Amino acid sequence: MTDGITPEQLDRLRRREAFLRERDEVRALRDRTAPRRARVWQLGEALRRAVTEGEGEPPAHHNYAGCGVAPPEPPVETQS
């Protein structure tokens, strides 16, 4: 053996090296994806605020295209 290292110690060092390498890969991936996650969260918050303004009514500039929100019914005119 090299420098009095037992096979158990050598195996432990190999597993530790693999763990540290994988941990570094995960950190790098998280750092690459974090800006996108933050941007998606901010957009979601902005949409939630826009849809809930005015007692749950969408804002006047809402185009209703592809969002699953039905446009409001036109007011019914009554004759007096």
Q: Reduced to 3 states, what is the DSSP secondary structure of residue 71?
A: coil
Do residues 50 and 62 lie in contact, with contact meaning Cβ atoms separated by under 8 Å? Answer: yes
Report how far residue 80's alpha carbon sits from residue 22's, in angstroms, rounded to the nearest whole number: 76
Report how far residue 39's alpha carbon sits from residue 31's, in angstroms, rounded to the nearest whole number: 14
67: in domain: no
23: in domain: yes
- Tens digit of each residue's pLDDT (9 = 90 or more) over 8-28: 999 999 999 999 999 999 989
25: in domain: yes
| DSSP structure string for 4-60 | T--HHHHHHHHHHHHHHHHHHHHHHHHHHHHHHHHHHHHHHHHHHHHHHTTTTPPPT
Q: Decide if pLDDT at 69 tops 80.
A: no
68: in domain: no
Where is pLDDT greater, at 72 or 23?
A: 23
Min mean pLDDT across 36-40, 41-45, 76-80 is at 76-80
pTM: 0.42
- Count of structural domains, the chain: 1
Q: What is the mean pLDDT of the chain?
A: 78
The pLDDT score that the predictor gives to residue 50 is 75
The pLDDT score that the predictor gives to residue 19 is 96
69: in domain: no
Where is pLDDT greater, at 71 or 32?
A: 32
